[in-house]
Structure 1
Amino acid sequence: MFSIAAIVVISGLMIYGFVLIGQIFSNNTKFSEEEVYVHIPTDATYAQALDSVKPYITHLDRFEMVANKMSYPANVKSGRFLLTKGMNSYELVKAMRNNIPVKLAFNNQERIENLAARVGSQIEADSTSLMNSFKDSIFLKENGFTEENILTMFIPNTYEVYWNTSADKFRDKMIKEYRNFWNKERAASAQKQGLTPTEATILASIVHKESVKKDERPRIAGVYLNRLKAGMPLQADPTVIYAKKKKDNDFNQTIKRVLYNDLFLNSPYNTYKVVGLPPGPIAMPDITALEAVLNPEKHDYIYFCASVERFGYHEFAATLAEHNVNAKKYSDWISSQGVTR
């Protein structure tokens, strides 16, 4: 038979066990949102992980007790971790072992520097490490890119990557996506237009900047392809704007109107002076602009300018005389609006 003392000890242990279980499996969060993300840097120590998570925990001692029981201090994982409101200590430690991917998105980036900043704001790798990776000379040479055209490697989309992805791993994922995009069919379509995938993307960047109207882009692409085949300069205003921004080293300036003097800028991006494509894209074209270049509208148009009757669209012409009439209408209209730059 148990003695009274033994019964008291057993009862005490049972009570302690119930209390302990209650502490382990009771709510241990102190944030008002339904969910928060915690980011643990690469090679973080347990102390660093604890610093990252403790702002969201009510009883840190309870969390640490469970963490030690689950061997978390010796097995800290880096990454992005989801905590939900009302989690207990056991669930919190378990959550800190489940790295949640990031839905990383980018589009409409004007330069590789802008892309690096955009990506660097979404993953652990910063813009500097990303730029160094993108412009690595060995990588560029092995994959047929230059510092001027490396932006053509990036296909605008939403990608699933881990937050703690390194700059090199992100870059390597992007080259795989690039190769997937430029399959045999698309590469053949580019070749049919007399272009390589890189050249098609550079031309698509001009088409992208010329019009936001997706249904008009195949016609604009057709104009530029007609000019290329005829050996004419592209004379694309967006390339002149890019050239001026590059010359001024100021890509934040807003230029709504190309002036006559701008047409004489000495730049490989000034397609009024240089015949053929510029050495790199003037922006990151979206998929519709790329598809417009690969599947252009067939026509005899050589010229186009902005329409003053269908805003956002353009007027097209097969002869210079027709174009001059359209161009004068636009010039008169924009001057009446007081736009000087």
Structure 2
Amino acid sequence: MSDKPMRGRVRPRVLLIMLLVLAAALVYGWNDFNRFSNAPLNVTAQGDSIDVGRGSSFKSIVGELRQRKLSSANTWYWRLLAEQMRVAGKLHAGEYALNVGITPRRLLANMAAGKVLRRNFTIVDGWTFAELRQALANADKLRHDSVNLDDATIMQKIGAPGEAPEGRFLPETYAYVKGDSDLDILKRAHGAMAKTLDALWPARAKDLPLATPYDALILASIVEKETGRPDERAQIAGVFVRRLQNHMLLQTDPSVIYGMGASYAGNIHKSDLTTDTPYNTYTRPGLPPTPIALPGKPALQAALHPAAGDALYFVARGDGGHVFSSTLEEHNRNVDCYQRKHCQ
């Protein structure tokens, strides 16, 4: 008997089986590819990132993800995804966040859109310029171009030659990306303070003993250092404005401390109050020559809109607040009560 009819019957079955196997493989591969595309990468902690250098190849990017065990998928899956998303050859250099839960699809979309990781640097109300410089020196992923520069050179480089730096930078949060310079942040903060002063100065209260916006900046810095309570700023400002109007010494300890510089060890003594410096407001009339800190916008508002009243003195209660008085006799009683604990 001939076996030709048998071979004719077997071949279609084998072909069918092969087609079914191929279809199953394609379905499995497609499902596996979709699973890879939308499954989170193996990111276990917030704050992780990947840095894509200029000229980095797609292979090197995927290689880093695999080397760091963030992805186990082969390069072909990544290439297929990039082609499907039409972003192949369009990935931007920069640092990208690897947040917990991020998928390959989302990561490639961020790289194609140039959504680089943005960090925040906060200038705190009441910092001195020295404290600001130290914080900048410790900021992560920031280019530290100012570290070896003196204050005068820094001011020149940010476009403010000849200005004393103290008080000139607005306390706010400033976003930056990896590779930005600390000088960039200083320039932005300097511009923000100038813009804020320009906006607030024309609307100031009438008859203030402040001749220039810089005078307001100096007074605001004193208010900033005297109290951290929002409800007291205008009252504190009112006391100092009335003292200036009455040609009284300001007698503000924070200014004395600022003038002491590195010799201040945490306590202020009577001898410090009688040791003359340009910032000793117990020995010199008027405002100190420069601000003594970086005042925030609320302190600026208080300096330009002081509270009305007759108080000329205040003393700390010990709970963050102050007691105000209009006469020296009353003030001395408050000092005895709240500082020497001799309340009657």
Fold similarity call, TM over 0.5: yes
RMSD of aligned residue pairs (Cα, Å): 4.1
2:192 equivalent to 1:177? yes
Of the two, which has the highest radius of gyration? 2
Matched residue, 1:102: 119
Stretch deviating more after TM superposition (179-188 or 294-303):
179-188
Counterpart in the other structure of 1:211:
227
- Map 1:1-341 → 2, pairs under 5 A: 15=25, 19=29, 22-23=32-33, 25-26=35-36, 27=39, 29-33=41-45, 36-38=47-49, 40=51, 45=56, 51=64, 54-55=67-68, 57-59=70-72, 61-62=74-75, 65=79, 70-71=87-88, 75-85=91-101, 87=103, 89-97=104-112, 98-119=115-136, 124-129=141-146, 132=149, 135-139=153-157, 142-143=159-160, 146-149=163-166, 152-189=167-204, 193=208, 194-244=210-260, 246-248=261-263, 255=266, 257-307=267-317, 311-333=319-341
Alpha-carbon distance in structure 2 between the residues aligned to 1:330 and 1:121: 39
Contact 1:28 1:58 in 2 (8 A): no
CA contact (8 A) 2:315 2:323 kept: yes
CA distance in 1, matches of 2:143, 2:197: 28
Q: Secondary structure at the match of 2:49?
A: strand
Q: CA deviation at 1:294?
A: 0.9
Give, in whole Å, the separation in 1 of the partners of 2:206 and 2:150.
29
Residues 219, 22 of structure 1: alpha-carbon distance in 2 compared, 3 angstrom cutoff: same
Read off the aligned partner of 1:182 and give its amino acid letter: L
Give the secondary structure class of the aligned counterpart of 1:40.
strand
Q: Match for residue 3 of structure 2?
A: none
Quote the sequence identity (%). 24
Shift in Å, 1:210:
1.5
Contact 1:29/1:57 (8 A) holds in 2? yes
Name the aligned partner's letter for residue 250 of structure 2. L
User: Is the 8 Å Cα contact of residues 217 and 295 (structure 2) preserved in structure 1?
Assistant: yes
| Partner AA of 1:202 in structure 2 | I
**CA 1:65 to 1:287, structure 2 compared with 1: closer, same or farther past 3 Å?**
same
Provide the rounded CA distance (Å) in 1 between the counterparts of 2:110 and 2:146: 29
Task: Give the drift of 1:164.
Answer: 4.3
What does the per-residue CA deviation read over 1:202-223, in whole Å, with 9 as the maximum and x for residues that have no partner? 2222112222332222121112
SS at match of 1:102: strand
For residue 332 of structure 1, give the secondary structure of its aligned residue in structure 2.
coil
After superposition, the C-alpha distances for 1:123-151 in whole angstroms (9 at most, x for unaligned) are 632455378597534356x54762442xx
Tell me the TM-score normalized by structure 2: 0.72
By how many angstroms is 1:297 displaced? 1.6
Cα distance change, pair 213–243 in 1 and its aligned pair in 2 (3 A): same
Partner amino acid, structure 2, of 1:302: L
Deviation at 1:331? 4.1
C-alpha distance in 1 between matches for 2:334 and 2:207 = 31
Look up the equivalent residue of 2:308 and give its one-letter code: K
- SS at structure 1 position matched to 2:229: coil
After superposing on structure 2, the runs of 4+ consecutive aligned residues of structure 1 that deviate more than 6 Å are 2-7
Amino acid at match of 1:261: S
* 5+ residue gaps, structure 2: 1-10
Q: 1:224 to 1:127 in 2, by over 3 A?
A: farther
After superposition, what is the alpha-carbon deviation per residue over 1:90-132, rounded to whole angstroms, capped at 9, x for unaligned?
A: 4333333422433443323522232244355556324553785
SS in 1 for 2:221: helix
